[in-house]
Protein backbone atom coordinates (compact mmCIF):
# COMPACT_ATOMS: atom_id res chain seq x y z
CA UNK A 1 0.00 0.00 0.00
CA UNK A 2 2.83 2.40 0.84
CA UNK A 3 4.45 1.66 -2.54
CA UNK A 4 1.20 2.31 -4.43
CA UNK A 5 0.72 5.52 -2.48
CA UNK A 6 4.19 6.64 -3.54
CA UNK A 7 3.41 5.77 -7.16
CA UNK A 8 0.20 7.82 -6.96
CA UNK A 9 2.01 10.84 -5.49
CA UNK A 10 4.61 10.49 -8.25
CA UNK A 11 1.82 10.80 -10.84
CA UNK A 12 0.44 13.81 -8.95
CA UNK A 13 3.89 15.41 -8.85
CA UNK A 14 4.46 14.76 -12.56
CA UNK A 15 1.11 16.09 -13.84
CA UNK A 16 0.35 18.89 -11.36
CA UNK A 17 1.93 21.48 -9.12
CA UNK A 18 0.11 20.27 -6.03
CA UNK A 19 2.25 19.64 -2.95
CA UNK A 20 3.24 16.01 -2.34
CA UNK A 21 4.97 14.27 0.60
CA UNK A 22 8.74 14.64 0.87
CA UNK A 23 9.31 10.96 0.14
CA UNK A 24 8.07 11.53 -3.43
CA UNK A 25 10.84 12.00 -5.96
CA UNK A 26 11.57 11.64 -9.69
CA UNK A 27 12.59 8.00 -9.43
CA UNK A 28 12.35 6.45 -12.94
CA UNK A 29 10.98 3.25 -11.39
CA UNK A 30 7.97 5.05 -9.93
CA UNK A 31 7.51 7.40 -12.87
CA UNK A 32 7.19 4.40 -15.20
CA UNK A 33 4.41 2.95 -13.04
CA UNK A 34 2.68 6.25 -12.34
CA UNK A 35 0.68 6.21 -15.60
CA UNK A 36 -1.91 3.96 -13.92
CA UNK A 37 -2.90 6.95 -11.79
CA UNK A 38 -3.02 9.57 -14.55
CA UNK A 39 -6.87 9.41 -14.77
CA UNK A 40 -7.13 9.59 -10.97
CA UNK A 41 -4.98 12.71 -11.06
CA UNK A 42 -7.50 14.02 -13.60
CA UNK A 43 -10.20 13.55 -10.96
CA UNK A 44 -8.31 15.86 -8.61
CA UNK A 45 -7.82 18.56 -11.25
CA UNK A 46 -11.54 18.35 -12.13
CA UNK A 47 -12.62 18.53 -8.47
CA UNK A 48 -10.53 21.67 -7.94
CA UNK A 49 -11.96 23.23 -11.12
CA UNK A 50 -15.50 22.19 -10.18
CA UNK A 51 -15.24 23.59 -6.66
CA UNK A 52 -13.89 26.85 -8.08
CA UNK A 53 -16.84 26.99 -10.48
CA UNK A 54 -19.35 26.55 -7.65
CA UNK A 55 -17.75 29.26 -5.50
CA UNK A 56 -17.51 31.84 -8.27
CA UNK A 57 -20.95 30.95 -9.64
CA UNK A 58 -22.34 31.84 -6.25
CA UNK A 59 -20.32 35.05 -6.00
CA UNK A 60 -20.09 36.45 -9.52
CA UNK A 61 -22.25 34.50 -11.97
CA UNK A 62 -21.85 31.69 -14.46
CA UNK A 63 -19.50 33.23 -17.04
CA UNK A 64 -16.98 34.34 -14.42
CA UNK A 65 -17.31 30.93 -12.75
CA UNK A 66 -16.45 29.06 -15.96
CA UNK A 67 -13.42 31.30 -16.56
CA UNK A 68 -12.30 30.88 -12.95
CA UNK A 69 -12.66 27.08 -13.20
CA UNK A 70 -10.49 27.01 -16.33
CA UNK A 71 -7.85 29.19 -14.67
CA UNK A 72 -7.90 26.98 -11.58
CA UNK A 73 -7.27 23.92 -13.73
CA UNK A 74 -4.40 25.64 -15.53
CA UNK A 75 -2.78 26.73 -12.27
CA UNK A 76 -3.21 23.24 -10.81
CA UNK A 77 -1.33 21.61 -13.69
CA UNK A 78 1.04 24.50 -14.36
CA UNK A 79 -0.38 24.64 -17.91
CA UNK A 80 1.41 21.31 -18.44
CA UNK A 81 -0.93 20.03 -21.17
CA UNK A 82 -1.65 23.44 -22.69
CA UNK A 83 2.08 23.98 -23.15
CA UNK A 84 2.37 20.67 -24.99
CA UNK A 85 -0.58 21.54 -27.23
CA UNK A 86 0.90 24.94 -28.11
CA UNK A 87 4.30 23.37 -28.90
CA UNK A 88 2.62 20.82 -31.17
CA UNK A 89 0.77 23.61 -33.03
CA UNK A 90 4.04 25.46 -33.56
CA UNK A 91 6.00 22.37 -34.56
CA UNK A 92 3.54 20.79 -36.98
CA UNK A 93 2.42 24.16 -38.29
CA UNK A 94 5.94 25.40 -39.04
CA UNK A 95 7.91 22.20 -39.64
CA UNK A 96 7.90 20.09 -42.78
CA UNK A 97 10.43 17.42 -41.84
CA UNK A 98 10.82 15.21 -38.78
CA UNK A 99 14.02 16.97 -37.76
CA UNK A 100 12.48 20.44 -38.11
CA UNK A 101 9.32 19.46 -36.23
CA UNK A 102 11.29 18.02 -33.31
CA UNK A 103 13.60 21.04 -33.26
CA UNK A 104 10.66 23.47 -33.07
CA UNK A 105 9.03 21.42 -30.32
CA UNK A 106 12.17 21.74 -28.18
CA UNK A 107 12.15 25.53 -28.59
CA UNK A 108 10.73 27.12 -25.45
CA UNK A 109 9.53 30.17 -27.37
CA UNK A 110 5.88 30.38 -28.44
CA UNK A 111 5.13 31.13 -32.09
CA UNK A 112 2.11 32.28 -34.06
CA UNK A 113 0.71 28.78 -34.54
CA UNK A 114 1.01 28.06 -30.83
CA UNK A 115 -0.64 31.32 -29.77
CA UNK A 116 -3.47 30.86 -32.28
CA UNK A 117 -4.03 27.23 -31.32
CA UNK A 118 -3.99 27.96 -27.60
CA UNK A 119 -6.40 30.88 -27.94
CA UNK A 120 -8.70 28.75 -30.08
CA UNK A 121 -8.82 25.74 -27.80
CA UNK A 122 -9.34 27.82 -24.66
CA UNK A 123 -12.14 29.80 -26.31
CA UNK A 124 -13.77 26.60 -27.53
CA UNK A 125 -13.50 25.08 -24.06
CA UNK A 126 -15.13 28.13 -22.48
CA UNK A 127 -18.04 28.10 -24.95
CA UNK A 128 -18.63 24.35 -24.56
CA UNK A 129 -18.57 24.54 -20.76
CA UNK A 130 -20.99 27.47 -20.94
CA UNK A 131 -23.27 25.35 -23.11
CA UNK A 132 -23.05 22.45 -20.66
CA UNK A 133 -23.74 24.72 -17.69
CA UNK A 134 -26.87 25.96 -19.44
CA UNK A 135 -28.36 22.47 -19.24
CA UNK A 136 -28.12 22.65 -15.45
CA UNK A 137 -28.95 26.29 -14.66
CA UNK A 138 -27.86 27.83 -11.38
CA UNK A 139 -29.73 30.41 -9.36
CA UNK A 140 -29.61 28.09 -6.38
CA UNK A 141 -30.47 29.48 -2.94
CA UNK A 142 -27.51 27.78 -1.22
CA UNK A 143 -24.08 26.38 -1.97
CA UNK A 144 -25.10 22.78 -1.23
CA UNK A 145 -28.16 23.04 -3.44
CA UNK A 146 -25.95 24.47 -6.17
CA UNK A 147 -23.87 21.28 -6.03
CA UNK A 148 -27.04 19.29 -6.62
CA UNK A 149 -28.16 21.48 -9.53
CA UNK A 150 -24.76 21.27 -11.21
CA UNK A 151 -24.20 17.61 -10.40
CA UNK A 152 -24.08 16.48 -14.04
CA UNK A 153 -21.70 19.28 -15.03
CA UNK A 154 -19.33 18.42 -12.18
CA UNK A 155 -19.38 14.74 -13.11
CA UNK A 156 -18.76 15.63 -16.76
CA UNK A 157 -15.67 17.58 -15.67
CA UNK A 158 -14.35 14.57 -13.75
CA UNK A 159 -15.08 12.22 -16.67
CA UNK A 160 -13.45 14.58 -19.19
CA UNK A 161 -10.25 15.07 -17.21
CA UNK A 162 -9.92 11.36 -16.41
CA UNK A 163 -10.74 10.08 -19.91
CA UNK A 164 -8.47 12.58 -21.68
CA UNK A 165 -5.53 11.51 -19.51
CA UNK A 166 -6.32 7.86 -20.18
CA UNK A 167 -5.89 8.59 -23.90
CA UNK A 168 -2.31 9.56 -23.12
CA UNK A 169 -1.72 6.24 -21.36
CA UNK A 170 -3.14 4.35 -24.34
CA UNK A 171 -0.94 6.36 -26.69
CA UNK A 172 2.14 5.41 -24.65
CA UNK A 173 1.14 1.75 -24.93
CA UNK A 174 0.18 1.59 -28.61
CA UNK A 175 2.65 4.06 -30.12
CA UNK A 176 6.40 4.63 -30.13
CA UNK A 177 8.23 7.35 -28.22
CA UNK A 178 10.23 9.67 -30.48
CA UNK A 179 12.48 12.51 -29.27
CA UNK A 180 15.88 13.25 -27.81
CA UNK A 181 15.99 10.68 -24.99
CA UNK A 182 18.42 12.75 -22.92
CA UNK A 183 16.50 16.01 -23.06
CA UNK A 184 12.87 15.05 -22.54
CA UNK A 185 10.98 15.28 -19.25
CA UNK A 186 8.69 12.48 -20.47
CA UNK A 187 11.49 9.95 -20.98
CA UNK A 188 11.02 8.15 -17.60
CA UNK A 189 7.27 7.78 -18.20
CA UNK A 190 7.54 6.65 -21.83
CA UNK A 191 10.77 4.63 -21.70
CA UNK A 192 8.80 1.43 -21.10
CA UNK A 193 5.29 0.63 -22.27
CA UNK A 194 2.73 0.24 -19.47
CA UNK A 195 1.57 -3.28 -18.67
CA UNK A 196 -1.93 -4.56 -19.30
CA UNK A 197 -2.54 -4.32 -15.55
CA UNK A 198 -1.61 -0.64 -15.65
CA UNK A 199 -3.92 -0.07 -18.62
CA UNK A 200 -6.73 -1.83 -16.76
CA UNK A 201 -6.30 0.21 -13.58
CA UNK A 202 -6.11 3.47 -15.55
CA UNK A 203 -9.19 2.51 -17.58
CA UNK A 204 -11.13 1.69 -14.41
CA UNK A 205 -10.38 5.12 -12.92
CA UNK A 206 -11.47 6.75 -16.18
CA UNK A 207 -14.65 4.67 -16.32
CA UNK A 208 -15.94 5.19 -12.77
CA UNK A 209 -17.46 8.68 -13.38
CA UNK A 210 -19.67 7.25 -16.14
CA UNK A 211 -21.47 5.11 -13.55
CA UNK A 212 -23.04 8.30 -12.19
CA UNK A 213 -23.77 9.98 -15.54
CA UNK A 214 -26.61 9.39 -17.99
CA UNK A 215 -25.97 6.06 -19.71
CA UNK A 216 -26.08 7.73 -23.13
CA UNK A 217 -23.05 9.85 -22.23
CA UNK A 218 -20.88 6.76 -22.60
CA UNK A 219 -21.30 7.30 -26.36
CA UNK A 220 -18.99 10.31 -26.01
CA UNK A 221 -16.10 7.90 -25.45
CA UNK A 222 -16.21 6.81 -29.10
CA UNK A 223 -15.31 10.15 -30.74
CA UNK A 224 -12.59 10.66 -28.10
CA UNK A 225 -11.02 7.31 -29.05
CA UNK A 226 -11.37 8.14 -32.75
CA UNK A 227 -9.71 11.55 -32.36
CA UNK A 228 -6.88 10.01 -30.30
CA UNK A 229 -6.36 7.34 -32.95
CA UNK A 230 -6.28 9.89 -35.77
CA UNK A 231 -3.86 12.13 -33.88
CA UNK A 232 -1.64 9.12 -33.21
CA UNK A 233 -1.63 8.25 -36.90
CA UNK A 234 -0.86 11.87 -37.81
CA UNK A 235 2.06 12.03 -35.39
CA UNK A 236 3.38 8.68 -36.61
CA UNK A 237 3.22 9.85 -40.24
CA UNK A 238 5.31 12.95 -39.58
CA UNK A 239 7.71 11.99 -36.78
CA UNK A 240 7.32 8.23 -36.40
CA UNK A 241 5.55 8.27 -33.05
CA UNK A 242 4.82 10.67 -30.22
CA UNK A 243 6.63 13.04 -27.87
CA UNK A 244 5.67 14.40 -24.46
CA UNK A 245 4.23 17.47 -26.16
CA UNK A 246 2.11 15.20 -28.35
CA UNK A 247 0.65 13.62 -25.20
CA UNK A 248 -0.27 17.09 -23.94
CA UNK A 249 -1.97 17.87 -27.24
CA UNK A 250 -3.88 14.57 -27.12
CA UNK A 251 -5.12 15.38 -23.61
CA UNK A 252 -6.35 18.84 -24.62
CA UNK A 253 -8.01 17.75 -27.86
CA UNK A 254 -9.58 14.70 -26.19
CA UNK A 255 -11.02 16.82 -23.40
CA UNK A 256 -12.47 19.29 -25.91
CA UNK A 257 -13.87 16.46 -28.08
CA UNK A 258 -15.55 14.95 -25.04
CA UNK A 259 -17.28 18.23 -24.15
CA UNK A 260 -18.48 18.65 -27.73
CA UNK A 261 -19.80 15.09 -27.86
CA UNK A 262 -21.63 15.55 -24.55
CA UNK A 263 -23.29 18.74 -25.85
CA UNK A 264 -24.49 16.92 -28.96
CA UNK A 265 -25.75 13.92 -26.97
CA UNK A 266 -27.46 16.16 -24.44
CA UNK A 267 -29.21 18.15 -27.17
CA UNK A 268 -30.40 15.30 -29.35
CA UNK A 269 -30.38 12.03 -27.37
CA UNK A 270 -30.81 12.52 -23.60
The H or E element that residue 1 is part of is none
Q: How confident is the model at residue 269 (pLDDT cuts 50, 70, 90)?
A: confident
Distance CA 263, CA 125 (A): 12
Q: What is the mean pLDDT of residues 125-154?
A: 76
Of the candidates 260, 129, 246, the one whose C-alpha atom is nearest the C-alpha of residue 186 is 246
Q: What is the mean pLDDT of residues 86-114?
A: 93
Give pLDDT tens digits for 225-236.
999 999 999 999
What phi, psi does 34 have (nearest 5°)?
-70, -15
The H or E element that residue 153 is part of is helix 151-174
Q: By three-state DSSP, how is residue 177 classified? A: strand
Give pLDDT tens digits for 169-226.
999 999 999 975 555 555 566 667 888 999 999 999 999 999 999 899 999 999 999 9
Distance CA 14, CA 228 (A): 22
Give pLDDT tens digits for 21-61.
988 877 888 888 899 999 999 999 999 999 999 999 989 98
Distance CA 144, CA 162 (A): 24
pLDDT at site 107: 87
Is the pLDDT reported for residue 241 higher than 90?
yes
Q: By three-state DSSP, how is residue 242 classified? A: strand
Q: How confident is the model at residue 141 (pLDDT cuts 50, 70, 90)?
A: very low
CB 36 within 8 A of CB 65: no
Q: Tell me the pTM.
A: 0.92
Q: What is the mean pLDDT of residues 140-166?
A: 82
- Could you tell me what percent of the chain has a pLDDT over 70? 90
Q: What is the mean pLDDT of residues 234-250?
A: 95
Q: What is the mean pLDDT of residues 117-134?
A: 95
Q: What is the mean pLDDT of residues 85-96?
A: 94
Q: What is the mean pLDDT of residues 72-98?
A: 95
Mean of per-residue pLDDT scores for the chain:
90
Amino acid sequence: MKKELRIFFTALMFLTRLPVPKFTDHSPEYLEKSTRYFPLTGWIVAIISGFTFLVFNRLAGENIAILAAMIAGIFTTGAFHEDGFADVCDAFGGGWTKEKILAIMKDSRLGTYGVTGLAGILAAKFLLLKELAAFTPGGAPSFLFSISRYRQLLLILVAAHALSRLMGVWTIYFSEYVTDPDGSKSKPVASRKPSWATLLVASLFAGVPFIFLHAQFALAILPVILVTYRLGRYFKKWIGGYTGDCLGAIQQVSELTFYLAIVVIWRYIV
